[in-house]
């Protein structure tokens, strides 16, 4: 029997990150980023890369170059674009052909449960839209009717931690009140994106690269270990 809260619930949209939040990621994104940097002559430790993986990727590249290239004049748009192109190709190949690309536990069930309650499901990411579409197509989330919106970081003026990707989905869904929106993600910039957008709930999830203790530093409204707990949060 449907809970009566389904009928009076105020949340209209839940926005989820991809890698580490809804899709299994064993540092594969960081490894691709590392390989792309190395191809241009920069050897960067995975531990330095992991915290940046929620960012729009050209911004992450610039941040890494700022630390590893002493001559600032070398950090050109051309160099950033070259590294990013290599990263995108590696990611598309990975998500198209690598075995074991799968949603994290309870993700698809949570998407379906949100739809039962009349809540829209959005996916946003630090990836460009071409990578995001590759993942969504591989998992057939559109065909399964599990998601309503996908926004890549290259579709807005600025990616995370800016609120523009969330605002784009709100506009498409006709939602004007940020208190009707929830953001869920596994990194610092996911949390800050939700906070900057004014979301009612900003949920950090420990299935990605940030630990509970690391997420606590950024003061999300909730920290969860299982994506299914999102349902409890919006029904509280």
Residue 27 confidence (pLDDT): 83
Please report which residue ranges of the chain form alpha helices under DSSP H. 5-8, 28-39, 46-49, 57-68, 77-97, 107-116, 129-139, 164-173, 188-197, 212-216, 229-234
Q: Is the distance from CB of 117 to CB of 6 less than 8 angstroms?
A: yes
pLDDT at 213 over 70: yes
Q: What residues form DSSP beta bridges with 99?
A: none
Q: Is the distance from CB of 207 to CB of 107 less than 8 angstroms?
A: no
pLDDT at 207 over 70: yes
Question: pTM of the prediction?
Answer: 0.87
From residue 191, alpha-carbon distances to 59, 93, 185, 213 in Å are 17, 29, 7, 14
> What secondary structure does DSSP assign to 199-229, as a single string?
-SEEEEETTSSS-HHHHHTT--SEEESSTTH
Q: How far apart are CA 10 and CA 54, in angstroms?
A: 28
Comparing 196 with 55, the larger pLDDT belongs to 196
pLDDT at 204 over 70: yes
Please give the distance of CA 25 from its chain centroid, rounded to a whole number: 12
Question: Cβ-count burial of 89 within 10 angstroms (0-12 exposed, 13-18 middle, 19+ buried)?
Answer: middle
Residue 52 confidence (pLDDT): 85
Structural domain 5-25+103-234, CATH architecture: 3-Layer(aba) Sandwich (3.40)
Question: Cβ-count burial of 144 within 10 angstroms (0-12 exposed, 13-18 middle, 19+ buried)?
Answer: exposed
Domain ranges of the chain: 5-25+103-234, 28-97
What number of residues does the chain have?
Answer: 236
Q: pLDDT per residue over 129-184, tens digit each?
A: 999 999 999 999 999 999 999 999 999 999 999 999 999 999 999 999 999 999 99
Fold topology of 28-97:
DNA polymerase; domain 1 (1.10.150)
Dihedral Cα 164, 167, 173, 179, nearest 10 deg: 150
The mean per-residue pLDDT over the stretch 218-234 comes to 97
């Amino acid at each position: 029997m449907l809970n009566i809260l389904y009928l009076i619930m105020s949340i209209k949209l839940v926005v989820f990150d991809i890698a580490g939040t809804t899709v299994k990621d064993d540092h594969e994104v960081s490894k691709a980023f590392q390989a792309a940097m190395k191809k241009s002559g920069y050897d960067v430790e995975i531990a330095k890369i992991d915290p940046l993986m929620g960012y729009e990727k050209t911004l992450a590249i610039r941040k890494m170059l700022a630390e590893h290239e002493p001559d600032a004049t070398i950090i050109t748009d051309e160099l950033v674009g070259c590294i990013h192109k290599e990263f995108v190709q590696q990611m598309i190949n990975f998500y198209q052909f690598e075995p074991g690309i799968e949603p994290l536990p309870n993700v698809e069930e949570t998407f379906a449960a949100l739809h039962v309650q009349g809540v829209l499901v959005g996916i946003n990411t630090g990836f460009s839209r071409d990578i995001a579409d590759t993942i969504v197509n591989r998992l057939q989330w559109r065909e399964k009717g599990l998601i309503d919106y996908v926004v890549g970081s290259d579709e807005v003026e600025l990616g995370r931690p800016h609120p523009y990707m969330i605002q784009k989905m709100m506009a498409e869904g006709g939602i004007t009140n940020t208190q009707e929106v929830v953001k869920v993600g596994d990194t610092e910039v996911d949390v800050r994106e939700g906070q900057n957008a004014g979301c009612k709930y900003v949920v950090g999830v420990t299935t990605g690269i940030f630990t509970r203790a690391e997420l606590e530093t950024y003061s999300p409204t909730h920290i969860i270990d299982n994506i299914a707990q999102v349902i409890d949060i919006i029904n509280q």
